[in-house]
Amino acid sequence: MQCELCGKESHDCRLAIIDGVKMMVCPKCLSYGKEVPRTTLSPAKHVAKKKLFAEDIYKKMDKELVPDWNQRIKNARMKKNLTREQLGALVGERTVTIAKIENGDLRPSDETIKKLEKILGITLLEEVKGVAVKKSGGSKSGGLTLGDLLGEKLDK
């Protein structure tokens, strides 16, 4: 194997980061940079992370918190005669966190949202419908009007 930095043949080339660039270098050139630990070399880990990120984005685009989510939580809690403390205990959040959520200061985590929906019997996430459907004809300039959308629905 050839050292990518000095070009010398070496049987003991290692992956290192030199000036921010990953390269295979001989032990001598290794001192110019930092050796990359073998644990970070695993490509499987990298792929898994990427996939998770993509799924996260997909989720965010698919469902959206309703605009009045904090009001819905507060109203539903009071309807059920629950204190913030009691609700907090039910969803596994602190009382102060529930207060922040109800004030709209804190966006609850996806996990908490699901719990709140279940315990309070409310809907906090709405499906985001893709309205940006382009007609294949494309004779009209500009976007679709409400009439276009209704017409399309009626056609079916």
Does the protein bind Zn ion through residue 6 (CB under 5 A)? yes
Structure tokens at 121: 């019997």
Residue from 26, 98, 116, 120 in contact with Zn ion (CB under 5 A): 26
Q: Tell me the sheet residues that pair with 64.
A: 126
CB 43 within 8 A of CB 20: no
* Cα gap 118→129, rounded to integer Å: 23
Choices 26-34, 46-54, 66-74, 86-94 (CB under 5 A): range interacting with Zn ion:
26-34
- Is residue 13 within 8 A of residue 23, CB to CB? The reply is no
Cα-to-chain-centroid distance, residue 72: 24
Q: Tell whether residue 3 is a contact of Zn ion (CB under 5 A).
A: yes
Binding status of residue 5 toward Zn ion by CB under 5 A: yes
91 binds Zn ion (CB under 5 A): no
Q: Is 29 in the site for Zn ion (CB under 5 A)?
A: yes
Q: How far is the CB of 3 from Zn ion (least distance, A)?
A: 3
Which residues contact Zn ion (rule: CB under 5 A)? 3, 5-6, 8, 26, 29
